[in-house]
Each structure stands twice: as C-alpha cells, then as structure tokens.
Structure 1
Amino acid sequence: MAHLHELSLVEASARIASGSLTPLELTEAVLARIAAVDGVVGAFVTVTAEEALREAALATAEIVAGSYRGPLHGIPVAYKDLIDTAGVATTASSRVREHHVPEADAAVVAALKRAGMVMVGKTHTHEFAYGGVTPTTRNPWDPGRMVGGSSGGSAAAVSYGGALAAVGTDTAGSIRIPASLCGVVGFKPTYGRVSRTGVASLAWSLDHVGPLARTVTDAAWMLNAMAGHDVRDPGSVTARVQDFAAGIDDGVEGLRLGIPVNYFTERIDPETARMVAAAVATLVEQGAVVVPMEIPQAEHFGAVITGIMMPEASAYHRRTLRDTPELYTDEVRGLLEVGETILATDYIDALRFRQSLKAAWRDAVVALDVDVVVTPTVFTTALPADDPVYRWDDGRVDSASVGYGRLSIPGNLFGLPTLQVPCGFSTSGLPVGVQIMGRPFADQTVLRVGRSVERVQAASAGEDPAAPHTVPARAPGLQ
C-alpha cells in the first residue's frame, strides 16, 4: 500500500470523501516527508508547517460537519515562489525580493483556497523564472542530477511527495521541462485560461500559470478551480470554463495525431525518441491515427521567442535593475542588461513574425485536420548537476540551459494548451516525458490524450491507472 505522501490527488480525495482519511492526517504525512528529504532535494524556499496544520485542521472540521467543498478540499499544495501568498514571503528565489511579503493572495491562490486546498509551502524557481535549471534544487530520482526549470521546486516537491500538487509558471517550458525530468504531469493551459494577477512576470505575452500533479486527472481537477476570467489580467480570456476532467477517460479512437518530421526529431537523444515513439504506438493501438506533418518555419522559433522574452523581461525589471543591480545573480542581471539593448523596432518585428509563425502553424494543423501534435517534452533526461551538457557522438554539445527549452517553445509562442506526461524510464532509471499540444482552447482534448498515455503506462507497470509514479528507494537519501 502506498504511503500517504505517495497518493495521487484523486486517490487522496476519494479517501477524504469516504471518511477513511482526514486532511490533517494527510498534511501531517506530507510535512513529515518534507522534513525527511527536502534537505537533500531543496525544493522549498519556505515550508509553512504551522499554517498548513491549522488549515488542515479547519478542513477536517468542515468536512466532519458536512461542509465538503469538493475534490480539492484538504489536499496539500505548494506554490512556485513567483506567486503571491498573503502574509508569506514571495521571493522569486532572488535577493531582490528577499523581504517581499504580499498583502494579498494571487488570483490562483485565492481560487484554490476557495476550493479548500492546504498550502504547505513555497517552492524554488530559477531566479525570477529566468532560466531552465533551478540551481537550488536537485532531482528526486537522482540528487546528483538537475531538476530543470524554472518551476523546478514545484516539480521536485510533487515528485517526492512534498505536496500532492503544485502550481508553476511557464514562459518557454518552465512547467513542462521540470515535470518531464522529475516524472510528473505538468500542464500549460491555453493562454489566458488562468489569471496571472499576483504572479511575478517574466514576459507578459508568453507567461502562463498551470498545475503540476501526479496524474492527468489530478491536473484537470486543479485546472477546474484555477481557470476563469479575471479583469485584472489584461491577457485573461472570457472563454467558458468547462469541466476539464469531463470525458478524460473516453480514449482516443479517431483522434488525429500530428507527428512532426522535422524540428522535434532533430538532435533528440535516441532513447528518448524511441520511448516517445512507443507512447505514440500505444495511442495508435487505441484507435488514434498518425498524421506525419512538416512544422513550417520552425528554424525561427528560438530567435523569435528570444526577441520577445528578453525585452519584456527587461521592461519588467527596469526599476530594480537601476536601483539594486547588485542583488541579482550575475546570470540574470546579464540577461536583463542584454535585453535592454534590443531595439523597440526589433521587438515589434519579433511580435509581427510571431503572428506569421502562429498562422503558419494553424494552417498546417487545419490542413491536415490534426487534433493534437505529439513530441518529446525535452530532448533528453536529467543531466548531471555538475556537468549539465549533452555530448553528441559527432562532437556537438547541447547545454541544459539552451537545449531543454527547445521543444517547448511553440506552446508559448502560440498560446497552445500543452501537456507533459511521463511515458517511462530510461535505462539509467530516469523519467522520460511526452508532450501533447492541442488547438487553442482544446484543453480537454489534450488532457484526454495524455490520460490515454498514462493508462497504458500504468497498466504496463502492473499499477492502478490512477496510481502515481513513486520515487525509487535507490535514490540516495530518499528512502
């Protein structure tokens, strides 16, 4: 039987609803897990143990009294440290905001509080989310390896049982990359689905907020509470919020899978490529149809997202970069300074080119009648923390800071709903993930395809399809 900290949100919710588990018992187990292993992993900036126990005790009393709020009631959650939490420091993992204590919750925190979730702490990010590594945090599957970023703390916490779910942000892959490397589910909804009010920005036209969890259904339930229009966020959309878990187990019969023949197939670790191909094969066995597709103008993706992200980030940090530049790390300060050298005309050109690329992607998807595009999430597994470089047989190298984000860029450039789902483990025991990108606002379809991958993976491992992947005992310090 799984330990309480290993439960999926779905499993824990069912036990709480039946009365066989209380939120207080669950929260105590999660806090004990944090105390036991976070010294090795370093997922948390702040652990709010006292507040969590009070919230869990209140949730327990409410449920006993018959005031059950729904499937998230009493579930422990962690928040990326970019996301404001009233009365609890929100530092963005930076000395710039070392003493920043918000007076109000971010919109997403307020929404999940209304649903009854219990905050156990704030998780590390790459400083201000400006990087794909999260240097403070190690991978629960192998603490000698990196966790990815920038939502690395959130992914690591969910992976080892320091929370049953977490909230992260994603500007160029920052939810999906660490979720893949840590073997958990990460979902970036359609742009504008989830409010960013109260969330520190990296690049406003690329930023998304989304859930990380153990299973696809867990993530869908989180999104049900998180999604909705917010007039305070200029990017927020008024699209109807449906039940994102509805039909999630309906399978993929007749769905058309776009399988790229370029860009997403270039410079991919062979083992990762084989495992993603195997995941696609299982979808075909379930009735999906493979549609080979050429990704138009893909060679421009990296330059365009850089031309947008860097000036937007520098604009956000303009005042503090002038007033307290010494408080930034050398890496992030350097990026912000370079961003200030990009001309306004070049930024406008990048925005225009983005629209051209977006139209070309849309036309390719429509012409082939593709429902989702399926690719690897990242090009390889977690690299060693002390040598974060992948060396190809021909002598080329890819650094983690550059290579990890290459495959996730389109989801942000085009605002597409994009899901990372674990699809197995490498021969060295490290998680591998598959990425599923849908049409705008087809979040439910993306989640349904991901759930089909997940069910096959669970069945092949002899597990209940709702069971989470658990951290292996071989990981040093994580027994």
Structure 2
Amino acid sequence: MPTVDRIRPIEQGARPTLRETARAIAARELTCVDLAKSCIDAAEASEPDIHAYTFLDPEGALRRARALDAEIADGGYRGPLHGVPIAVKDIIDVEGMPTRAGSQVLSEATTSRADSEIVAVFRKLGAVVMGKANTHEFAFGATTPPTRNPVDPRAIAGGSSGGSAAAVAAGSARLALGTDTGGSVRLPAALCGIVGFRPKPRPDIGMGGIVPLAPEYDQWGLLAETANDIALIWRALAGDDKDDAGPASPPFVVPEDIAATVSGIDDEVAEVFAATAARIANARVAIRRTTLPDLREIMPSRMALQLRQVLQEHRAAGWWPAARDLYGPETRHNLDIAESQEALDLSDARGHVRAFDVVIDGSFRDDEILILPTTPVAAPDFEETTRIALADGERHPLVKLLALATLPFSRPSLASLTIPCGRTARGRPVGLQLVGRDETRLLRAGIGVEEALR
C-alpha cells in the first residue's frame, strides 16, 4: 500500500506560479534545465506510488530544455510557456512517443509520427513534454487505474485524465493536457486538488491527432495549479503574452437547492460548497439563486447519445469487435451495451437533451457565472472503483455519480472550470465548478474566487 508520507502534493503557494516561473526564465534567473530537473526529481519520488505516466522521457525533456536555454541566451524568448514541463494524456499524439490510450488493444502501437494539433501549438510556444500521462481506457471512465491520488494514494485520481491531474498535483509536470467529453478534465482535477479547464471548441486548435471518444462532445482541456496559471496559458494560445491577468467579480448564480440539483451529494461536499458560496458573498460579489432541475434527469439520454458515438468510432477504427477480448471489462461492457441498443431510435434522447439544454441556458445570463460542486463526492478509496455507498444506504455507480455535475455542462456552447475550494475531514479535496459562456470572463472569475478563498 502506498504511504501518504512519501508523496508531497502541491499546497497553496508551495511552488512558484507559472507567471512567476515565466518571469524568472525570461530574466535568466531560472534555467529551463533546472525547471525540467525539478519535475524529473518529483517524478522519481512519486511515480513508484502514483503511476501518473505510461511513458516518461527525462532524457528527451532535458535535451529540449537545453535547446530552449540556448534560445534564451540568444534572445529568443518564446513567451510564458518557454521551458514549461507538461504531461500529455495518452490519447493525444506526441511525435516520437507511443499512443496506447490506456488499452491492450493498442499495446503494440508504434511511436507517433507527428504531434497532435494541440501538442504542436504547445511545442511551438516552448513547452517541454515530460511524457504521456495515464488515461482511463480510451478515455471512457472516471478512475484511471492504476493511477493514484497524490493528495492521498489510498484514493483514486479520477478520470479519464487521471494521470494528467496526478502529474500536476505531484509536481512531475507544471501543466498538463487532457481531454474532456463529460468531465474528464474537471473530475480528476477536482479530486486531486488542482485546476481543470474545459474551453469551448477553437477553430484554430482542433482535435486532430487525438483518439476520439464521442466527437460531438470531445474537447481538449488544460490542468494546472491555479486559475491564474490557466489564464496565462489561455492568453498565450491566443498570441497574447501580456502579463496582465487580473481577477473579476461577475454576477454569480447558485442552485436554489443544491441537494435537489446534485442528487446524492455528500454532506461534507455540500457543506464545503455552502461555505464557499458564503465566502464569495462576503467578498461583496453579487450572487443570486436560481432553480435548476435534477441533473440526473439528463444522464440516460446523454449517455445513450455518447455510447452510440463511441461504438461508431471503435468500429470505424477496426478495433471493435475484432479486438473485443483485449478490451478491459468496463469498456467491453459499455460497448456491449452500445451494441445491444444499436437498433434504438435516439431522436427522443436527442430531443430530451436539447430541451434540457434550453432549461440550463435559461438559468443564467451571458454575463453571469454558474457555480456548483464539481463532483458530488470527494475522491473515493481506490478499492471503490465501480460503486460507492452514500448516506442514503444505496451503492451508486461511481462513473455516473462522479460525472453528475459535469456532464450536463459538457457541450460546445459552454466553458467550465474547476478550482479547489476546501477539503473533507479525511483531507480529500473538494472542487468548485464555474460555468460560463466566455472563457476570459470565466477565468478571471476563477482568479477572483481563488483570491476570495485565500
């Protein structure tokens, strides 16, 4: 059993922010090599217990860091990502590294011949790829075995971008790339006590070079230690390297009855959320209440649409059913369900999803930010990988429970962010989800909430 003492996850202010790091590199007060070495050292200390990576390339990271230091010496600073070590989820192609998607189906995969679109952009901006981060098989789940939570290795890291979240939390990467179809960036970020960001789709940085799950809903996302870090990178991706991010206090909206909206919410999580909302209000930020439906209502219809797309993608790739026996039990079971429902007309399900989206859209204005818990429970123990017992005495399917508050907001017209807002009595992080329609407003609101919670 891994011990908590061996792992040193991040704490508020424990490491310099990306903004501080970028300034130090630009001023030649910190070398890219030293920054890479710090992440390599963290990986050596944490990987025996955490298993954040499927493929780690310390030699390649150091070669890249030396080249970037040489550029700095010649006056060639690329911006705030110059020299920043990143982890890349193992469904995202990185040239020279294998993409195996956490599955035996792709266990013989050769190294990728080209970077994915998102990795190519990050490399151009100066990022140093540390390696490939563990993912739940084909990004289709919420636990990411064998990855464990750096905050408490007895707990899961979440998924499907569990390795990405664990790498940032353990300090073996300063930033990570993940994907989010129904919460796969936000869930592990919340459980590991870091920040996860799902933007709206960008026409300039698509999903090319990423193994698809359900293309209608798939989106790459970012994981870092703070909302301020994410905001800095978001501006860099837009070609704006100005160091001028600041907090904002747009009007916030909270559900009138959080227990009715997020069914099955743990009492401790509800208490942390209520205390967080109170602290935001005490910071003289406008908060109004709104009535939201029970988020469980949309799960069957949305999952039916998603399952149909997953089945289509795996058939088109030639994996299913040819490699059926190589799939893990959970993914194989899900694909069997999808196959059994193939004759069903999903027009009613799509109509239900659209009607539900209209209700959600009417609950907050374009200039407002909706807040609610990211997950109904904190990170469960590693052994509770299928069902979890709640106060109601029932054992609930873990993946559906964890995605309850993220999946309904996982669509192209919305952006969302999770930030850590407290911990349970066992010391496990609780995440606050912010949902909005404009990424810049959302990120500035996240920075404002971080400041209010200090």
TM-score (structure 2 length as normaliser): 0.91
Choose from 293, 299, 303 the match for 1:302: 299
SS state at 2:430 partner: strand
In structure 1, what is the equivalent of residue 348 of structure 2?
349
Choose from 452, 455, 459 the match for 2:451: 455
Bigger mean CA offset, 76-85 vs 316-325: 316-325
* CA-CA distance at 1:415 after TM superposition: 4.1
In structure 1, what is the equivalent of residue 425 of structure 2?
427
C-alpha distance 336-415 of structure 1, shift in aligned 2 (>3 A): farther
In structure 2, what is the equivalent of residue 21 of structure 1?
30
User: Any stretches of 5+ residues in structure 1 without a counterpart?
Assistant: 227-240, 460-479
1:22-421 correspondence runs (5 A) = 22-100=31-109, 101-192=111-202, 194-226=205-237, 248-252=245-249, 255-261=251-257, 263-296=260-293, 298-318=295-315, 319-343=318-342, 346-366=345-365, 371-388=368-385, 389-413=387-411, 415-421=413-419
SS state at 1:257 partner: strand
SS state at 1:321 partner: coil
Bigger mean CA offset, 397-406 vs 203-212: 397-406
Superimposed CA distance per residue, residues 154-198 of structure 1 (whole angstroms, 9 cap, x where no aligned partner): 000000101000000011110011001100000011244641111
C-alpha distance 370-70 of structure 1, shift in aligned 2 (>3 A): closer
Matching residue's letter, 1:87? G
Percent pairwise identity: 33
Query: CA–CA distance in 2 between the matches of 1:245 and 1:432?
Result: 32
Query: CA–CA distance in 1 between the matches of 2:332 and 2:66?
Result: 43
Query: CA–CA distance in 1 between the matches of 2:101 and 2:322?
Result: 18
Query: CA–CA distance in 1 between the matches of 2:256 and 2:415?
Result: 17
User: Any stretches of 5+ residues in structure 2 without a counterpart?
Assistant: 1-9
Query: CA–CA distance in 1 between the matches of 2:243 and 2:206?
Result: 22
Question: Is 1:358–1:413's contact at 8 Å kept on the other side of the alignment?
Answer: no
Query: CA–CA distance in 2 between the matches of 1:24 and 1:289?
Result: 45
Matching residue's letter, 1:222? I
SS state at 1:317 partner: helix
Question: Is 1:7–1:164's contact at 8 Å kept on the other side of the alignment?
Answer: no
* CA-CA distance at 1:344 after TM superposition: 5.8
Superimposed CA distance per residue, residues 319-368 of structure 1 (whole angstroms, 9 cap, x where no aligned partner): 211322222112211211211222465333323332222222222324xx
SS state at 2:362 partner: helix
Superimposed CA distance per residue, residues 215-252 of structure 1 (whole angstroms, 9 cap, x where no aligned partner): 112112333345xxxxxxxxxxxxxx585988742431
Query: CA–CA distance in 2 between the matches of 1:246 and 1:260?
Result: 37
* CA-CA distance at 1:402 after TM superposition: 2.3
Moved over 6 A (4+): 2-5, 244-247
Query: CA–CA distance in 2 between the matches of 1:430 and 1:378?
Result: 12
Question: Is 1:372–1:438's contact at 8 Å kept on the other side of the alignment?
Answer: yes
C-alpha distance 406-334 of structure 1, shift in aligned 2 (>3 A): same
* CA-CA distance at 1:295 after TM superposition: 1.7
Query: CA–CA distance in 1 between the matches of 2:241 and 2:407?
Result: 24
SS state at 1:282 partner: helix
* CA-CA distance at 1:397 after TM superposition: 2.5
- Aligned residue-pair number: 438
Query: CA–CA distance in 2 between the matches of 1:419 and 1:247?
Result: 20
Query: CA–CA distance in 2 between the matches of 1:303 and 1:63?
Result: 53
Query: CA–CA distance in 2 between the matches of 1:181 and 1:245?
Result: 31
C-alpha distance 248-272 of structure 1, shift in aligned 2 (>3 A): farther
C-alpha distance 29-376 of structure 1, shift in aligned 2 (>3 A): same
Query: CA–CA distance in 2 between the matches of 1:167 and 1:211?
Result: 5
SS state at 1:420 partner: strand
* CA-CA distance at 1:18 after TM superposition: 1.8
Question: Is 2:53–2:132's contact at 8 Å kept on the other side of the alignment?
Answer: yes
Query: CA–CA distance in 2 between the matches of 1:13 and 1:330?
Result: 44
Question: Is 1:5–1:163's contact at 8 Å kept on the other side of the alignment?
Answer: no
SS state at 2:371 partner: strand
Superimposed CA distance per residue, residues 49-79 of structure 1 (whole angstroms, 9 cap, x where no aligned partner): 1111111000111011100010110000010
SS state at 1:249 partner: coil
Query: CA–CA distance in 1 between the matches of 2:84 and 2:115?
Result: 18
CA RMSD in angstroms, aligned pairs only: 2.3
Matching residue's letter, 1:86? E
C-alpha distance 256-429 of structure 1, shift in aligned 2 (>3 A): closer
Question: Is 1:84–1:105's contact at 8 Å kept on the other side of the alignment?
Answer: yes
Query: CA–CA distance in 2 between the matches of 1:443 and 1:434?
Result: 16
C-alpha distance 242-118 of structure 1, shift in aligned 2 (>3 A): closer
Query: CA–CA distance in 2 between the matches of 1:429 and 1:204?
Result: 36
SS state at 2:217 partner: coil
